[in-house]
Chains A and B, each alone.
Chain A
Amino acid sequence: MKTEESIMQRIADAAKAVTRGVDAKDIEHWVTIYIMGRAYKVPADLTILTAMEYAGYRFVRGVGCRQGFCGACSTVYRKEGEYKLQTGMACQTRVEDGMYLVQIPFAPAEKAAYDISKESYDASVFLKFYPEVARCVSCNTCTKSCPQDLEVMDYVQAAIRGDFQSLAEGSFDCIQCGLCAMRCPADIVQYNVAQLGRRMYGRYGMPVPKHLITRLQEIEAGKFRGKMDQLVAVPREQLEKLYASRVREAD
């Protein structure tokens, strides 16, 4: 029963297409999952996210793109009869029979404030802003908890020894879901360390892209000012038409 038509609600409803209009008696495969300890019977082909919605949960936080990119729907679960605690993104992980699960809608994490143009390009920048990296015991729990299959421990180790390239490349696909930090016995916030490392690498380690510099100079010299002014003056309706008919690459 809807009381308000929020955007999140609309997205959630759209994502429920998989079960919408299907009668429960026509669903052949069912699994039992446990959400915060309570059992729910759900269709077997749902993701954790859609299964929780099927069970009646509504997400206002702890959900985002539903495509595995935004890192908002971190999940921790353990399957019946297994000792290993597992992790995943709720939108990307299919439910399995006997899953005990809970959502981690937010990872409390210390995030340092810094100005990369004032920092020296060596390992000391990590010890300065995130000295707890020195507590790493190489247990590899971070790597095992990463839903992106990154070698998280390796990139933390790269940070400790100031290997910016390995850190930047090794953490490139990080979606900042926070699961590594939630499981780290040394209380390291791996993804914030990685972000600092990528920023430093981009600033000092990578070659300066000439085309970008040229374009920035053109912008500053006012090359596009006339066209921009024109565009700003266009009424909204016409702007929408322009947007829809713009030249774009094929999807």
Chain B
Amino acid sequence: MANRLMISTGNEEFLERISEMSGQIITLCEQCGVCSGSCPMVSEMDITPSQMMRMVQLGQSEVLRAKTIWLCASCFTCTVRCPRGLDLSKVAEALRQVILRQAVDHIDIKALPRDELVELPQIALVAGMRKFTG
């Protein structure tokens, strides 16, 4: 996770858009890192949840290329622990939605192996479709 946050010329519109979609006052984040320390998926991620928040604060739309936004499992652990009362799961969803709404799916439904599809409970597939396809 050798990712260094560089302060570059941010895009305020991006911050505004994500704030609006997520309903979160993203600038409240004070980078304490409780979210990253609580996240069960953090070891799979390329940037931590707190880095994700920082990039959005700085208007860095490159965050849309991070694996992290797709690895969020919407478990709401960070949500119940954030000392600023922020809901990061909503921020991650807003970031996913920016991509999905351009009709770009994160998974290829037809490439999912059929022998695995028949094993899955419907709730897994329905949730996967809602999170990974637009």
What number of B residues sit within 8 Å (CB to CB) of A?
15
Q: In the complex, A140→B92 CA distance in Å?
A: 29
Main secondary structure of the interface of A (DSSP, over half): helix
Write the B92-134 contact mask toward A (1 if CB under 8 angstroms, else 0): 0000000000000000011010100111101001101110010
Interface members, chain A 108-126 (any B CB < 8 Å): 120, 123-125
The answer on a CB contact under 8 Å between A161 and B125 is no
**Which of chain B's residues has its CB closest to A162's CB?**
B122
Tell me if A132 counts as interface (CB < 8 A to partner B).
yes
The answer on a CB contact under 8 Å between A120 and B118 is yes
Interface members, chain A 121-145 (any B CB < 8 Å): 123-125, 127-129, 131-132, 134-135
Q: In the complex, A128→B90 CA distance in Å?
A: 31
Q: 18 pairs across A/B with beta carbons < 8 Å?
A: A120-B118, A124-B117, A124-B118, A124-B119, A125-B118, A127-B117, A127-B125, A128-B117, A128-B118, A131-B110, A131-B112, A131-B125, A132-B109, A134-B122, A134-B126, A134-B128, A160-B126, A161-B122
List 14 additional contacts besides A120-B118, A128-B118, A134-B125; criterion CB under 8 Å: A124-B118, A124-B119, A125-B118, A127-B117, A127-B118, A127-B125, A128-B114, A128-B117, A129-B114, A131-B117, A131-B125, A131-B129, A132-B129, A135-B133
Which residues does A use to contact B, with CB under 8 Å? 120, 123-125, 127-129, 131-132, 134-135, 160-161
